[in-house]
């Protein structure tokens, strides 16, 4: 039976990297997919010459998100209306209107309204560290947990990555492509500290069949993921191997749970 999946992310392009395959698969299987983004990514980095005269980064990122959503089959895109909080330790963290400085209950009420409107069956957020400690990502976890409580959304999944698995993939990709020196945006596998240990992951989703859509969704965010980036440098088969799995922790589930999809018993 079809249901509704709400995916909650911090910034435009986060959805393409972390959950695009799951979103595309859910849409292909007849589920309604709703993307909620806390900010418009207005304080992200952008290379010179990318923006048109008079165009703001927020405007560009909203347009890119709209295009990515179309590629993935997303039925609705909403923004909570907060400003990008910048990286950890920056003055922007505590600026008025930033997502990090927002009252959790107030922000959760905004998300809960959407969850109720959609009668959401499943919500995805981030793990408690937001993957790597970015203030807005940590806030997605806090706000998402509270919103699910307010709306009565029982199935909540924390999007994350299998840290050691990704380290191995980075090494393999570097060797396969003979990248010397590696691209500036390619993580160092020896210091890579995103995600969690494998034993915490309850849900491993195979999205290799949707790798082409995932790659296209990433490419749609050209202001943040240029065509020569590490994410897009791999040939299609290597991309599918590297980005063909998405990981989640199902909140409230026993540590022993192992499942392969967000919809089911």
CATH number assigned to the domain comprising residue 77: 3.40.50.10320
* Burial bucket for residue 71 (CB in 10 Å: 0-12, 13-18, 19+): buried
Residue 100 resides in a domain: yes
Closest listed residue to residue 43, CA positions, set 10, 88, 13, 86: 86
- As a whole number, mean pLDDT of residues 152-161 equals 97
Q: Which one, of 111, 118, 159, lies nearest residue 34 by Cα?
A: 118
DSSP result, 75-129: SEEEEEEEBP--STTSGGGGSTTBTTTS-HHHHHHHHHHHHHHHT-SEEEEE-TT
What's the CA gap between 157 and 177, in Å, rounded?
Answer: 34
Question: What pLDDT score was predicted for residue 235?
Answer: 82
Q: How many domains does the chain have?
A: 1
Short-list 211, 153, 158, CA closest to 28: 211
Whether residue 260 is contained in a domain is answered as: no
Residues making up the chain, counted from first to last? 265
Coil vs helix vs strand at 226: coil
- Is residue 255 assigned to a domain? no
- Overall average pLDDT of the 169-191 stretch: 70
> For residue 179, what pLDDT is reported?
57
What CA–CA distance (Å, rounded) separates 244 from 220? 18
The reported pLDDT for the residue numbered 181 is: 62
Q: Is the pLDDT of residue 135 over 90?
A: yes
Let me know if residue 256 belongs to a domain: no
Neighbouring C-beta atoms of residue 98, cutoff 10 Å: 22
Name every residue whose Cβ is closer than 8 Å to that of residue 47 and which is 6 or more positions away in sequence: 226
Average pLDDT over residues 199-223: 97
257 falls within a domain: no
pTM given for the model? 0.93
Q: Cβ(212)–Cβ(237) under 8 Å? A: no
pLDDT tens, position by position, 229-254: 877 877 888 889 889 999 999 999 99
In a domain, 40, yes or no: yes
Confirm whether 153 is domain-assigned: yes
Tens of pLDDT, residue by residue over 53-106, are 999 999 999 999 999 999 999 999 999 999 999 888 888 888 889 999 999 999
The DSSP letter of residue 137 is H
Contact by Cβ (8 Å): 124, 5: yes
Task: Indicate if the pLDDT at residue 220 is higher than 70.
Answer: yes
d(C-alpha 175, C-alpha 162), whole Å:
20
- Give pLDDT, residue 183: 60
Q: Let me know: does 202 contact 250? Beta carbons within 8 Å.
A: yes
What residue numbers bound the domain in which 181 lies? 4-250
Give the percent of the chain with pLDDT over 70.
95
Residue 192 is assigned to a structural domain of this protein = yes
The region, left, alpha or beta by phi > 0 then psi within -120 to 50, assigned to residue 243 is alpha
Mean pLDDT over the full length of the chain? 92
User: What number is the average pLDDT over the span 19-34?
Assistant: 98
Torsional class of 264: left (φ above 0), alpha (ψ -120 to 50), beta (otherwise)? left
Least confident piece of the model among 128-137, 174-183, 218-227: 174-183
pLDDT recorded at residue 76: 98
């Amino acid at each position: 039976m079809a249901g509704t999946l709400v995916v909650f992310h911090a910034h435009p392009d986060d959805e393409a990297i972390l959950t695009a395959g799951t979103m595309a698969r859910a849409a292909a299987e007849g589920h309604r997919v709703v993307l909620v983004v806390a900010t418009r990514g207005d304080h992200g980095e952008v290379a010179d010459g990318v923006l048109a005269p008079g165009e703001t980064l927020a405007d560009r990122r909203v347009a890119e998100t709209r295009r990515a959503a179309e590629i993935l089959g997303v039925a609705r895109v909403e923004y909570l209306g907060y400003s990008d909080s910048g990286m950890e330790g920056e003055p922007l963290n505590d600026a008025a209107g930033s997502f990090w400085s927002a009252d959790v209950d107030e922000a959760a009420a905004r998300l809960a309204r959407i969850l109720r409107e959609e009668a959401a069956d499943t919500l995805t957020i981030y793990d408690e560290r937001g993957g790597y400690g970015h203030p807005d990502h940590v806030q997605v976890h806090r706000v998402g947990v509270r919103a699910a409580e307010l709306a009565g959304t029982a199935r909540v999944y924390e999007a994350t990555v299998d840290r050691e698995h990704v380290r191995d993939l980075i090494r393999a990709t570097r060797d396969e492509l003979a990248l010397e020196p590696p691209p500036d945006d390619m993580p160092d596998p020896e210091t890579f500290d995103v995600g969690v240990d494998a034993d915490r992951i309850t849900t491993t989703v195979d999205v290799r069949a949707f790798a082409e859509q995932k790659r296209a969704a990433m490419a749609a965010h050209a202001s943040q993921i240029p065509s020569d980036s590490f994410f897009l440098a791999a040939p299609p088969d290597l991309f599918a191997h590297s980005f063909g799995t998405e990981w989640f922790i199902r909140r409230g589930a026993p540590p022993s749970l192992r499942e392969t999809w967000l919809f089911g018993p």
